[in-house]
Every structure is written in structure tokens, then in C-alpha cells.
């Protein structure tokens, strides 16, 4: 029996506050608003707008229910445990309760593709990575037709509620569906390895811990290899969309020589010059090796590239942008000018930022490029993610048992031992503002970027100059499930 | 304190046979020969040729010695433990013994760059990955000048012996130096993640276990991601030089849909057709995803590519090769025709085989390419590698204490529990044959390739058709150091 099989038979740790899900009331009186654009949001969400934040008190909870669950968007370790927690709570409420898993993501709701989950089906997926039990997908339930179809499927199945496990957009769409169905209970669960779904009640989204631990294992190994071989510069691009939380977390765990933080909004040439200077100074010390981390979203935040990408929509480039285009390597120019998504937008995530920077640095070095992404999304969930997700699932069931709608399942106090974690329910509308998407103003959850006045960034900023030259690499090693190193929380977690 | 720091404070398990290094005699009477070219090898190694294989019996061992140690070539997890084992045995023999570490690889011997190792220096490197304690390098001590200089340094330091930790070529060169110094005690230690240094006494080289466990963790995660997202084909190239041991081991651990085994010597078009057929059949089952493993050395074994590479030395291509060249993508053609090493040879390891195959398969699929290599060389050594290397180091000290020269330190019975492992000493000359290197015949250790009539390959061959379609992926997860999953041996180990 392998490690994964053993983990499937083990029980997550459960917070004291969720040990008996039948004895939980939810309370909260203070009305919420939203991030901005209050009038527009209020108009779009007449049923949901203004609901209070709810916390757990003792009371009575549970009834026979039929609940649907769907996984939305990219994989994140722990998704299966959200489903397991939800299932176990529903069966604790009433053995006759049912959990229906929609297949292949939100498209499964629209098309009525589903399976009724049983203990036998869930058992092998407990504490496992991946989303393969019921699959996931990127369909967004947004159009009238999709909403109508979804409503019909939900009504035909006689669902008492729906749990949407997804990132910022999926949670927004969960609220849209709840509103469309006039307060039908829909609960969102904050999932994304990117860590950009963060707020006072979501200290971190699930999957971030496992992914960054896996990336940091690899980065640490590569730091050690660089220091041993003493002849390669490793340029490592990290998955994580626009925000740099993944890169920041990995930097705090491994201390590479240089880490770009997109949110600093530094120019391409500023970054390139700084890296070139570091390489030159290190060469003078006889150090022709190093490790450089590059967040996936870096170029979106570079002022000159931002302008160029904007102008590329019309093809009408300013003189400055034309000059920049000339300096870029051909492959990158092609990616900027030719590769477009179906909406005509530049596919920023396709641009090989690591190659761009390496090319522009133009130093005589041996270089190796890496991209760490898919390796980290489906790993065996760390204890943190396994416990966190199971608690998120239990809490989602509690919220639904109280017929609440448009809420996000939250677990707070995550830096404390699991026993002291606390459940809460956060109105999704309270996180919304209006932003332009493909030319239209839409209600969306604002992405949480790395705060340059925040504690995690400050710790990084205080050490970055030393890391450039001191080779103060750290080697976190592989995720452990037994022994003294199996419990740890992300470094960017702040109270 | 992190996992690595904790591991530094822990003791490897020691085989019963090596528990008291002061009570070991080495015996063996049967003269050895060599792999082939007996006359040439005998002439080149008059002092070393024909020595017997030695096994441990009880006796008396140990004296005050000054020993040098050097790390040679690419990193492999466990190198630091070879040094720790060697150090501990030397200090057990006599507290006044010294261990001198040559810096930056064999070049450190030639140039007299070294450091005298102390317990304080070694302590933080116990059970750690990397070669960073004393560094490594790829200088080969081959020329008369290098041999002379090395001899002078060794004599100046008053060394009683030298331990060379390296792969096939480094072990050959260890014998060359021992011979040059007329039987001065030199011991080799079998290191390489590639697994191509294997024989009756070296069931596996050290570092292979850790590297393949790390690659398999990542491959397993990617298999799970493929099965969850259901939209990507992942083409994963694996480090490992010519032989396919790494790919075979990873395949046995993770069951990907397709694994190329170079030693099958199949043609490019045969492989491409088979992959294309699999992709088509899977598509008919609605499966537009999968995982394909490609060993680094694949194209060296493809008959038509082999011919092309050979002809590229003269630039005089056969019609067949010209036709092939036309079918290859431009980047690959460039790599074949332009990229040359200083000897004018095609740099086979630079050729992007994964891109070549993906291009030739020419299927309408979403593909992601990966290369796993550097991530696995410097990982925290698995218990297997940590224990194995420490034992190899203890045994190297025993061999030197008996004034033996030109031997490889071997530990056998590796599938049994550590307690039952057995030390041995194998004459390096017994592994030699003559092969052409850069136009000259040289004595070399023949690289061990995957045996197509061997047990590990047969297990793979029996399952490969099922793995193509059944998605029977396995997810080994990260290396564990505590609990029930911390002890395991490579799957390709046979008795």
C-alpha cells in the first residue's frame, strides 16, 4: 500500500468548533456593504446584498437535505476533502441526506450531468489531490440561457442547496446564480493555488499551501544544485496568475538570489538592469550561478509592457512602444502581436517571461529555464490543506442547513492549532466591486494582490539584498505527513 | 528548525556487517579478468589487473591514515553521507586520522585545492542533498600532466589513500590514477542518478533512488492533473543520459500512458506512429489527455537518427538522412546541424526530443512540455540513499585501511533490510573494456543499459498496453522520512 492509499484511510483533524455539526447556530447582525460601486452591486443583487457576516455560536443545526457540489476551474489540493467534509456533515445531519456531484465543472450543472455520491465512491479520494472524483471545468454560468438551464436542473433534482468550490470568479458566479434563483442556498468555497482570494475571513485559499510547498521543494533542490555545480543560473517561472503570492511564499521558504514581485510595478529595464548588475557582481566574487524566481503575471504589471499590451488591441503603437518592440526578442514579439485569445486579447500567460528576461539580461551565463505549475496543483494535500478543506466542507454544510445563500464558507484563525480554528460565513456580495471584463462592467471579487505594506512582503524586502549575494538558500524538502515536520502553515499567513 | 536540519541530526541505519569497522577483514582469491579486450586492459593496468573480488570476513582493521576524498561529476543525493561515513570510520580507526576534501572536483586534486574536514564542518551536511560541502567538477585526470600534478599533490599531502565518488568515467579515472601511482590506494564509489553504473556488485548507483522518487512525485502529480483537467497531453523528458533506467523506474512507479525506452532501438516514425495511434484511440473514448515519458537519450538509439548523427560529423548525408532532415522541425534540424560540442559532436542532450516527438505526432491536442532533471539531483536523500551512502563511505575506509587499490566500494543485498546489507570490494579493472572516445580507443566501464530480457523491463512490457488506455495512474507522493512509508528501495532493483 502506498502513501496515498494510507492517507485515504486517515482522518483529518477537526476544529473543536466543528466537532459536532448538529450543535452550531450562525449569528451576525451587522449589515455588510461591498468593496465599491454600492449602487450597482445592490441593484444586481437585491436578494443577497447587505447580508451580515455570520459566526458560529451554539445552537441546533441539521436536517435532511439534498445538496449539489461542483468543482470549478483549476485544480487545487484539498478539493476532494471539501466534498468529503460536506458529505460527512450531511450524513451526520440525516442519513437520508444526499450529495450530488456535478460532473466536469459548472457545465455539469447547465447540462444536468451528475452522480449521487456514496461513501464507497468518496472513500478512496479522502485526503487525495486532484479533482478527478467528479472532474472540474471552466464553464462560467453567466448567460441567461445558462442560468435558466441550471435553475431547471437544480429544481428537477430537488436540491436544497449548492456548493461551488472555486476561485474568485466562480464565487462571484455562485452569488449570481443564488441571486438569479432568488436566494436559493448557494455557498462558495475559496479555492485557488494562486492565493489571490484573500480577505479578512479568507486568510488563504485552499491549495496554496500544498502547491507552494511542492514548488519550494523543487526550488530548494535547484538552489542546492546551483550551489553544488556552481555553473548555472536557473530562471524559474511560477504559476500563480496576476498576483505574486506564490513567488513571495516560495521566496520566503527558499531564499533565492532574486525574486520579481509583480506588484512592485517595476519596469522591464529596471528589473533587467538589476539582475544584470547582480550577475556581474556575483561573477566578481567567482559566483557564476544563482536562482531567480519570476511570477507568471510579471509583465502585466510592467508599466511599459502594460501600455504595449493595451495598444496592441488597436495595433496603434506609441513611439515608445515601437521602440520597446524593437528591443524584444522575436519570439516574445510574436507572442505579443500574434497570439490572441478568442476575445482578441494578448495571452499574457503564454508569454515566456523567463526567456524575455534572460534574453534582455544578455549576460554570458549558462542558464536553465523552468516552469513550475502543473506539478503543484494536484499534489497529495498537506495536512494544512487536508484539514482546512475538510473543515470548509463541514462548514459549508452548516451554512446550507441554516438555509443561507450567497455566502462563502470560511475558516479563520488558521495560524493557531487546528483545534482552535473557527468557522464563519462571509457574504460574497461584500467582496464585490465592478470591473471591466471584455469591454463590459461586471461585478467581480477584487483579486488580492501582494500588499507592499504587508508583513510578508516586508520580511522579503528586508532580506532581498542579502539573498542576492549571500547564497543563504533554504531547502524545505518534501512535504511530510508523519513526524514533527508535518504541521506547518504558509509563511504569508498573517493574523 | 526545518526538516533538513532535523535530518542532519539523525543517524543513518548501519548494516550489521559494518557496525564495527575495526573488526573487518577482506578476503577473496579468485582472480578477475575484464569485460573484453583483456590484453589491452592488462597492458594498461599492470599493477591492478586481475585482482580478486573481496568480501568481508571478521578480522582486524584500521590504522591512522590521511585520506583524500573528491566528488566528481553531476550531483547525486547522498554524496555528503559517503564523506560522513568515510570520516566516521577513519576517526574510529584512529582519532588522529585525517580526511582531506578536494575542492571543486578532480580539478582540486590537480591544482592542490583542498580543505581538512572536521566534525564541525561535516555535521550540517549529514543526510543532506547536494555536493556543496566541497563542491564537484567535471575535470578528468587523464593527461600525463594532470596525472603528474595529482601525484605530486597527493605525495605532498602525504595521503595514504584517495576516495573518488563518481560515475563510470570517474571510476575508470580512479583506476588510471591508481595505476599511474603504481598501486597507491584509490577507491571509487558508484554515484549517478542515471543508474547506468550497475553490475553484479552494484545493484544500483547512489542518487538514483532519490532522483527517481522526486521525478515520480512530480509525474504522479501531473498524471493526477491530466486526469482532473482532462485537456492536456504532458510530454515529460527525464534526465538520465543514454540509458532509460530513470524513465523505466518512473514508469513502474507512476504508470503513465506511454513511456519510450531507448534500448528498444525503435525508429522515430515507429514511436511517433504509436503515440499518434494512442492519442487517436483515446480521443475516441473522449480522453484528450495523457502523460508521455521520454528518456533524455532516446534519439541516440533511433536507427535513422543514429545514422544521421554519424553522418553529420562529415556533413555527407545519405539520401535517407536528407529525407529525414526535411521532415524534422527547423529547431531540431538546427540542433542537429549547428550545435556542436568542442569536439565537433552533435550535442544529443541539447536536442529537444519532447518537442521533436510532439511536432512529428502532429495531433490536435493541448500539450505541455516538461523536463525533469536538476530538481532531482540535489534533493534531501531518501533513507535508502542516506543509508546506502553512509555504508559505502564506511566500506571505502575499510578497503583503504587494508591498503587495497583500484577497487570500487560496493554494498550488496540491497533489497533486504539495511541490517543485512553486505560490503564488498570490486576491482574496477574487472568492469573495463575498450571503447572509442573522440576517435581514440580508451579503457572505459561499459554503461549498463536497460536489459530487454531483464525483470524490470518485462514488468513494464506486460503492463504498457493497459496503461495506454486504462489511466491506471499511480501517485507515489513526496518522499517520507518518518512513518511507514519512509523505507523503500528502487523498483528496478533485482537480486
Flag whether A494 is in a domain.
Answer: no
Query: Do the Cβ atoms of B481 and A484 come within 8 Å?
Result: no
- Segments forming the whole domain that contains residue A24: 3-207+381-437
Kindly tell me if the per-residue pLDDT of A339 is higher than 80.
no
Give the Å distances, CA to CA, from B264 to A384, B256, B271, B295, B458.
Answer: 44, 18, 10, 12, 12
Low-confidence residues in chain B, pLDDT < 50: none
CB B485 within 8 A of CB A2: yes
Q: Roughly what angle, to the nearest 10 degrees, separates helices A319-327 and A303-314?
A: 110
Q: How far apart are CA B270 and CA B299, in angstroms?
A: 12
Instruction: Write down which residue in A437, A462, A478 finishes a domain.
Output: A437
Cell 467528479 appears where? A134
Please state the rounded mean pLDDT for residues A118-134: 98
> CB neighbours of B120 closer than 8 A, spacing ≥ 6?
none
Q: How far apart are CA B487 and CA B495, in angstroms?
A: 18
Cell 485537456 appears where? B231
Helix/strand/coil for B68 = strand
Contact residues on chain A for B484, CB-CB shorter than 8 A: 6, 482
In terms of domains, do B368 and B328 share one? Answer: yes
Q: Per-residue confidence at A335, pLDDT binned at 50, 70, 90?
A: confident
The torsion angles phi and psi of A132, rounded to 5 degrees, stand at -75, -10
pLDDT at B337: 82
CB A110 within 8 A of CB A143: no
Query: Do the Cβ atoms of A379 and B234 come within 8 Å?
Result: no
Contact residues on chain B for A385, CB-CB shorter than 8 A: none
In terms of domains, do A299 and A387 share one? Answer: no
pTM metric for this prediction:
0.97
Cell of B462: 506486460
Searching chain B, which residue's CA lies closest to the CA of residue A230?
A: B135
List pLDDT tens digits, range A219-265.
999 999 999 999 999 999 999 999 999 999 999 999 999 999 999 99
Instruction: Sheet with B258-259: list strands edge to edge.
Output: B258-259, B290-295, B233-238, B367-372
Flag whether A227 is in a domain.
Answer: yes
CB A241 within 8 A of CB A449: no
List pLDDT tens digits, range B308-322.
888 887 888 999 999
Searching chain B, which residue's CA lies closest to the CA of residue A125?
A: B224
Give the Å distances, CA to CA, from B272 to A145, B167, B421.
Answer: 43, 32, 43
Please state the rounded mean pLDDT for residues A429-437: 95
Kindly tell me if the per-residue pLDDT of A340 is higher than 80.
no
Q: How far apart are CA A420 and CA B210, in angstroms?
A: 37
Question: Using alpha carbons only, how large is chain B's radius of gyration in Å?
Answer: 23
Q: How far apart are CA B217 and CA A373, in angstroms?
A: 14
> CB neighbours of A353 closer than 8 A, spacing ≥ 6?
A237, A294, A296, A298, A299
In terms of domains, do B324 and B222 share one? Answer: yes
CB A461 within 8 A of CB A454: no
In terms of domains, do A362 and A407 share one? Answer: no
Q: Which of A3, A378, A380 sits opposite B225 (nearest CB)?
A: A378
Flag whether A219 is in a domain.
Answer: yes
Contact residues on chain B for A253, CB-CB shorter than 8 A: none
In terms of domains, do B146 and B25 share one? Answer: yes
Flag whether A446 is in a domain.
Answer: no
Annotated catalytic residue within A88, A169, A194, A385: A194
CB A371 within 8 A of CB A358: no
pLDDT at A55: 98
Is the predicted ipTM greater than 0.90, yes or no? yes
Dihedral angle over CA of B205, B210, B216, B222, nearest 10: -140
Q: How far apart are CA A170 and CA A72, in angstroms?
A: 6
DSSP-assigned letters across all residues of B315-368: T---HHHHHHHHHS-HHHHHHHHT-B-TTS-B-GGGS-HHHHHHHHH--S--EE
A20 is catalytic: no
Query: Do the Cβ atoms of A480 and B478 come within 8 Å?
Result: yes
CB B299 within 8 A of CB B356: yes
List pLDDT tens digits, range A174-199.
999 999 999 999 999 999 999 999 99
Domain count, chain B: 2
Helix/strand/coil for B451 = coil
Q: How far apart are CA A137 and CA A114, in angstroms?
A: 13
In terms of domains, do B187 and B262 share one? Answer: no
Portion 402-461 of A in contact with B at CB < 8 A: none
Q: How far apart are CA A108 and CA B288, in angstroms?
A: 18
Contact residues on chain A for B380, CB-CB shorter than 8 A: 475, 477-478
Give the Å distances, CA to CA, from A222 to B161, B386, B476.
Answer: 33, 19, 21
In terms of domains, do B81 and B55 share one? Answer: yes
Flag whether B167 is in a domain.
Answer: yes
Q: How far apart are CA B42 and CA B61, in angstroms?
A: 30
Flag whether A484 is in a domain.
Answer: no
Q: How far apart are CA B132 and CA B231, in angstroms?
A: 41
Strand B24-27 relative to strand B54-58: parallel, antiparallel, unpaired? antiparallel
Strand partners, B420: none
Q: How many residue pairs bridge chain A and chain B with CB atoms within 8 Å of each other?
A: 161
In terms of domains, do A354 and A417 share one? Answer: no
CB B397 within 8 A of CB B21: yes
In terms of domains, do B134 and B9 share one? Answer: yes
Kindly tell me if the per-residue pLDDT of A348 is higher than 80.
no
CB A180 within 8 A of CB A147: yes
Flag whether A431 is in a domain.
Answer: yes
Q: How far apart are CA B495 and CA B493, in angstroms?
A: 7
The closest of A437, A468, A398 to A233, measured between CA atoms, is: A468
The closest of B185, B71, B140, B175 to B432, measured between CA atoms, is: B175
List pLDDT tens digits, range A441-482.
999 999 999 999 999 999 999 999 999 999 999 999 999 999
List pLDDT tens digits, range B397-436.
999 999 999 999 999 999 999 999 999 999 999 999 999 9
The closest of B88, B77, B93 to B118, measured between CA atoms, is: B88
**Which pairs with CB-CB distance under 8 Å and at least 24 residues apart come from B44-48?**
B44/B179, B44/B443, B45/B175, B45/B179, B45/B406, B45/B429, B45/B432, B45/B443, B46/B179, B47/B178, B47/B179, B47/B182, B47/B183, B47/B405, B47/B406, B48/B175, B48/B178, B48/B179, B48/B183, B48/B405, B48/B406, B48/B427, B48/B428, B48/B429
The torsion angles phi and psi of A100, rounded to 5 degrees, stand at -110, 125
pLDDT at A280: 97
Half-sphere exposure (CA, 13 Å, Cβ side) for B76?
31
Flag whether B490 is in a domain.
Answer: no
Contact residues on chain B for A70, CB-CB shorter than 8 A: none
> CB neighbours of A414 closer than 8 A, spacing ≥ 6?
A203, A204, A384, A388, A421, A489, A493
The closest of B492, B446, B429, B451 to B167, measured between CA atoms, is: B446
pLDDT at A326: 92
Cell of A5: 492509499
Which domain CATH number covers A400? 3.40.50.450
Kindly tell me if the per-residue pLDDT of A395 is higher than 80.
yes
Closest Cα of chain B to A130: distance in Å? 6
pLDDT at A495: 63
The closest of B107, B379, B447, B177 to A231, measured between CA atoms, is: B107
The closest of A53, A60, A57 to A29, measured between CA atoms, is: A53
Closest Cα of chain B to A48: distance in Å? 32
Q: How far apart are CA B271 and CA B265, in angstroms?
A: 10
Task: Kindly report the number of other CB atoms within 10 A of residue B204's CB atom.
Answer: 25
List pLDDT tens digits, range B15-32.
999 999 999 999 999 999
DSSP-assigned letters across all residues of B170-199: HHHHHHHHHHHTTS--EEEEEB-TT-----
Which domain CATH number covers A461? 3.40.50.460
How many angstroms from the chain centroid is the CA of residue A225? Answer: 29
Helix (H) or strand (E) holding A161: strand A161-166
The closest of A191, A202, A198, A210 to A136, measured between CA atoms, is: A191
Q: How far apart are CA A229 and CA B74, in angstroms?
A: 7
Q: How far apart are CA A76 and CA A389, in angstroms?
A: 10
Q: Per-residue confidence at A41, pLDDT binned at 50, 70, 90?
A: very high
Higher pLDDT, A98 or A362: A98
In terms of domains, do A432 and A359 share one? Answer: no
pLDDT at A438: 81
Q: Does A108 touch chain B (CB under 8 A)?
A: no
Helix/strand/coil for A190 = strand
In terms of domains, do B224 and B185 share one? Answer: no
Helix (H) or strand (E) holding B234: strand B233-238
In terms of domains, do B236 and B174 share one? Answer: no
Helix (H) or strand (E) holding B297: none
Helix/strand/coil for A57 = strand
Average pLDDT, chain A: 96
Q: How far apart are CA B70 and CA B108, in angstroms?
A: 8
Annotated catalytic residue within B88, B98, B168, B194: B194
DSSP-assigned letters across all residues of B12-50: PP--GGGS-GGGEEEE--PPP--SS-HHHHHHH-TTTTT
Query: Do the Cβ atoms of A228 and B380 come within 8 Å?
Result: no
Average pLDDT, chain B: 96
Amino acid at each position: 500500500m502506498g502513501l496515498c492509499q494510507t492517507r485515504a484511510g486517515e482522518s483529518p483533524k477537526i476544529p473543536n468548533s466543528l466537532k459536532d455539526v448538529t450543535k452550531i447556530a450562525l449569528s451576525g447582525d451587522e449589515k455588510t456593504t461591498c468593496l465599491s460601486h454600492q449602487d450597482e452591486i445592490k441593484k444586481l443583487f437585491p436578494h443577497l446584498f447587505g447580508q451580515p457576516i455570520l459566526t458560529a455560536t451554539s445552537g441546533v443545526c441539521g436536517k435532511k437535505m439534498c445538496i449539489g457540489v461542483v468543482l470549478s476551474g483549476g485544480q487545487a489540493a484539498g478539493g476532494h476533502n471539501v466534498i468529503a467534509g460536506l458529505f460527512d456533515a450531511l450524513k451526520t445531519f440525516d442519513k437520508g441526506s444526499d450529495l450530488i456531484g456535478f460532473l466536469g465543472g459548472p457545465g455539469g450543472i447547465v447540462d444536468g450531468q451528475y452522480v449521487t455520491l456514496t461513501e464507497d465512491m468518496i472513500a478512496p479520494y479522502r485526503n487525495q489531490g486532484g479533482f478527478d472524483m467528479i472532474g472540474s471545468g471552466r464553464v462560467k454560468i453567466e448567460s441567461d440561457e445558462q442560468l435558466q438551464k441550471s435553475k431547471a436542473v437544480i429544481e428537477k433534482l430537488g436540491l436544497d442547496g449548492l456548493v461551488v468550490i472555486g476561485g474568485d470568479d466562480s464565487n462571484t458566479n455562485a452569488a449570481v446564480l443564488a441571486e438569479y434563483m432568488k436566494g436559493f442556498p448557494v455557498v462558495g468555497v475559496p479555492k485557488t493555488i494562486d492565493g489571490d482570494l484573500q480577505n479578512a475571513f479568507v486568510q488563504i485559499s485552499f491549495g496554496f499551501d500544498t502547491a507552494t510547498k511542492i514548488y519550494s521543494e523543487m526550488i530548494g533542490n535547484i538552489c542546492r544544485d546551483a550551489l553544488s555545480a556552481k555553473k548555472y543560473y536557473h530562471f524559474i517561472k511560477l504559476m500563480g496568475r496576476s498576483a505574486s503570492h506564490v513567488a513571495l511564499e516560495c521566496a520566503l521558504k527558499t531564499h533565492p538570489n532574486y525574486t520579481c514581485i509583480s506588484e512592485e510595478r517595476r519596469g522591464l529595464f529596471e528589473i533587467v538592469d538589476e539582475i544584470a548588475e547582480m550577475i556581474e557582481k556575483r561573477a566578481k566574487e567567482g559566483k557564476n550561478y544563482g536562482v531567480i524566481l519570476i511570477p507568471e503575471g510579471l509583465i502585466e504589471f510592467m508599466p511599459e509592457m502594460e501600455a504595449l499590451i493595451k495598444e496592441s488591441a488597436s495595433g496603434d503603437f506609441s513611439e515608445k512602444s515601437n521602440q520597446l518592440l524593437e528591443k524584444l526578442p522575436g519570439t516574445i514579439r510574436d507572442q505579443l502581436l500574434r497570439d490572441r485569445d478568442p476575445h482578441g486579447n494578448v495571452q499574457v500567460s503564454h508569454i515566456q517571461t523567463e526567456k524575455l528576461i534572460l534574453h534582455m539580461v544578455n549576460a554570458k551565463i549558462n542558464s536553465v529555464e523552468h516552469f513550475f505549475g502543473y506539478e503543484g496543483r494536484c499534489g497529495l494535500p498537506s495536512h494544512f490543506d487536508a484539514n482546512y478543506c475538510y473543515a470548509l466542507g463541514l462548514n459549508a454544510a452548516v451554512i446550507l442547513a441554516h438555509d443561507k445563500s450567497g455566502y462563502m464558507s470560511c475558516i479563520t484563525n488558521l495560524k493557531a492549532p487546528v483545534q482552535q480554528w473557527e468557522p464563519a460565513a462571509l457574504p460574497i456580495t461584500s467582496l464585490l466591486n465592478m470591473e471591466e471584463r471584455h469591454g463590459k462592467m461586471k461585478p467581480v471579487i477584487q483579486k488580492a494582490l501582494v500588499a507592499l505594506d504587508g508583513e510578508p512582503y516586508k520580511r522579503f524586502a528586508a532580506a532581498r539584498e542579502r539573498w542576492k549575494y549571500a547564497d543563504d538558500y533554504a531547502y524545505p524538502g518534501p512535504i511530510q505527513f508523519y513526524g514533527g515536520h508535518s504541521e506547518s502553515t504558509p509563511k504569508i499567513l498573517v493574523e
